[in-house]
Structure 1
Amino acid sequence: MSAAEILSALDRIHGTVSVIGSMNADYTVTAQRLPGPGETITGGPLQLLPGGKSGNQAAAAARIGATVQMFGAVGSDNNADFLLGALGEAGVNTTHVRRVLGPSGTTVITVDAHGENTIVYSPGSNAQVTVDYVESVRDALTHSTVLGLCLESPIETVTAAARMCHEAGVKVLLNDSPFTPSLPAELIEASDILLVNEHEMAQLLGIDEPENDDWDSFDWWHALDELRGFGFEQAIVTLGGDGSVVLDGTADDPEHRVQRIAPVRVKAVDTTGCGDSFMGTVLAGLSSGLALSESAELASYVSAYAATGYGAQASYGNAAQIREAFASAE
C-alpha cells in the first residue's frame, strides 16, 4: 500500500487505551559519539525531557487520537509535575496516577551523531506501583478496550494488571522491555499479544539467530510455531531500521499469519522513544478496530517520524504532523 493509504488509518483512531507503568524524567545529552568504558567525552547542553516507556506509549497513542488513561506513580520532587504536565499536554488522562514520597523515575541518556543512544534507568517512584494500587484502580483500568504493559514496573504488578484486564475482556499487549527471558506463566496466559525486537524474540523462544543478521532468510514460520508453543498466538517482532514482522496464529488465511512490514526511511537524529511510539500506535490501532498488521504498518510511519526529532515524547507528532511529513512519500 502507498503511504497515503496506510496513513488514512489515522482517520479511524478513536479507541480507548489504558497504560500502566513507568514515567521518567530523561536527562539527555548529545555527543559526537558514545563513550567507551571508563572514558570521558564532551557533549552538548543537558536537556530534561519527559519519558518512561509507559508514559511514552501513552503519549504516542493520545497524540494520534486515542483516548488514553495513564496509571502509575510519580514522586514528591519537581519532576512529578513536569511529567504529569507533559502527559496532559499530549492529551493523556492522569487522574489516577499516584503521588508517593521520594524521587520520580529518571533516566540518563547519551545520544550520538547517528541517533543511537545509551540509557541508564533509575526506577524511583515506578518501583512503588504495587498490586494494591492496581486493585484500587480496577474499575478505571478495565474501562478501556486495550491495555499496554511493559516491564519497568514490578513484575507482580504487571502480572496483576494483565490478569485483571484479561478477565474483564480487555485486550492485553505486552512489551517485554526491559527484556526478561523468564516471563511468569500467569503473565503469558493473561497477555494476548507480544511485542519484542528480533534479538529478544530469539532469546525468549530459544531460537538461533541467522548468520550475519540476515533476517530476510530467517524461518518466520518456525518462529510462529515456537511462539504458539510458548503461549502467544500473536506477536509483532520489530527489526529496527528494517521494519517489523507480524506473526498472527489466529489469521484464517495462512498467507496472513506471517507478514513482513516494510521500514519507513527517514534521516534519524535520535532514536530515543521510537520503539515506544511504535507500541503506542499499535495500542491506538488495536483499540480502534484496526487489524494487527494495519496497526504495525501505521506504527512504522509514526515511529519513523519520532526518529526525526530529539527526545521521546518531545519528538512525537499528531496525526496532521505525521501526514504532512510523509505527504510526498512513495
Structure 2
Amino acid sequence: MTTQTSPRITVVGSINIDITSRVERLPSPGETIAGGTLSREIGGKGANQAAAAAKLGAAVRMIGAVGEDADGRWLRDQLTAAGVDTSEVKEVPDPSGTALIVVDKHAENQIVVCPGANAHVQADDLSLEPDEVILAQLEISLAVVERLAASSSNYLAINAAPAQPLPAGLIERVDLFIVNESEYALMPELDNARLVAVTYGADGAALLTRGEEISRAPGVATTAVNTVGAGDAFCAALVIAIHSGMTPTAALQSACSVGAAAVAHPASQPPLKRLSEYVTR
C-alpha cells in the first residue's frame, strides 16, 4: 500500500541474474583466487531500483525483458514478490541478462555484465499517466532512452550508469540525472544538466544545477558489506523523496540513509523499510 505523497514510478531498465563470489580480496589480471562463496540473486540496475522503490512505498511497474526459460520466470517472480508490477516485462528467446560479480572483504567489487534479454527492452508504446515518474538507466540501449525521452513529457530521472557520452538533446530533456563521482568526472556534459545528484560513497551526496552545487548531505556511518545495490537504492529513494515534497537537502539526507542501509546488507536487493523511516527528524 502506498501513501498519498508517494509517486507512481515506471522503471525502464535491466533485469539480471547476479552470480556473486565473495572472496578475501579481488584477483589481479590472470590470477586465480580460491576460497570464494557463491550466491545467485536477482539484480540489474533496473530491477534493483524497481524493487527498492516498491519497498520504500511507491507504486512501481517494471518495463524490461527476460528469457523464455526458468531463469526468466524466476526473475519475474522475484520482482513480483518485492511488490513490483511485472505485467509489462517481456519474455524473449535470448537468455536472461547475467552479471558476474566478485566482492572482497572490504565490499569492493568487480562486475562483468552480459546483457542477454536486456538488449530487447523497448518502450516505444509506453502508456503513461501525467503524474507518473519515469526512472531509467544506461544498462539498456541509449537509443531506447532517447526515444523514451522524446516521446514523453513526464518527469524523467536517469541513472547515467555505466558512464558514456550523452547527446545534448538528452541532457536538456532529463529532469534529474543520478551518477557517482567517477561517472560524473567521465561525463562533463552533465554540467549543462538542470539537476544532477552526485554520490560520493561514505562522504554523502550533492545536488548540482548547471554545474553549481545547490545542496549537500553527509554520508551515514555504516559497515559496508556489499556496495552493488547501494547506488540503486539511493536512486529510488531520491526520486521518491523529491516527489514527496521534501526539500533538496532532506531528500539527499533520506537517500543517503537508504543507501547506507543497502550497503550494510549482502544482497543487491536488500530489505528496506518505508522511506519515512529514513527521514531525519
TM-score (norm 2): 0.92
In the alignment, structure 2 segments of 5+ residues that lack a partner are none
Q: Provide the rounded CA distance (Å) in 2 between the counterparts of 1:142 and 1:152.
A: 25
Q: Structure 2: which amino acid aligns with 1:123? A: P
Alignment of 1:248-259 (within 5 A): 248=209, 258-259=214-215
Alignment of 1:96-245 (within 5 A): 96-130=88-122, 134-136=123-125, 138-139=126-127, 141-142=128-129, 144-165=131-152, 167=153, 170-180=154-164, 182-205=165-188, 227=191, 230=192, 232-245=193-206
1:61 and 2:53 equivalent?
Answer: yes
Report how far residue 288 of structure 1 moved. 2.7
Q: Structure 2: which amino acid aligns with 1:303? A: G
Residue 261 of structure 1: aligned partner: 217
Q: Provide the rounded CA distance (Å) in 1 between the counterparts of 2:180 and 2:54.
A: 23
Alignment of 1:15-54 (within 5 A): 15-54=7-46
2:65 aligned to which of 64, 73, 76: 73
Q: Provide the rounded CA distance (Å) in 2 between the counterparts of 1:34 and 1:142.
A: 46
C-alpha deviations, 1:192-222, integer Å up to 9, x for none?
111112222223117xxxxxxxxxxxxxxxx
Q: Which has the higher strand share?
A: 2
How many aligned residue pairs are there?
A: 280
SS in 2 for 1:135: coil
Task: Identify if the C-alpha distance between structure 1 residues 91 and 13 changes in structure 2 by more than 3 Å, giving closer, same or farther.
Answer: farther
Cα RMSD for the two superposed structures:
2.5
SS in 1 for 2:98: strand
SS in 1 for 2:33: coil
Q: Structure 2: which amino acid aligns with 1:95? A: S
Q: Provide the rounded CA distance (Å) in 2 between the counterparts of 1:92 and 1:234.
A: 27
1:246 aligned to which of 202, 207, 212: 207
Q: Provide the rounded CA distance (Å) in 2 between the counterparts of 1:92 and 1:287.
A: 19
Q: Which has the higher helix share?
A: 1
Do 1:13 and 1:285's aligned partners in 2 also have CA atoms closer than 8 Å?
no
SS in 1 for 2:187: helix
Task: Identify if the C-alpha distance between structure 1 residues 143 and 85 changes in structure 2 by more than 3 Å, giving closer, same or farther.
Answer: farther
Report how far residue 12 of structure 1 moved. 7.0
Q: Which has the larger radius of gyration?
A: 1
Q: Provide the rounded CA distance (Å) in 1 between the counterparts of 2:70 and 2:131.
A: 30
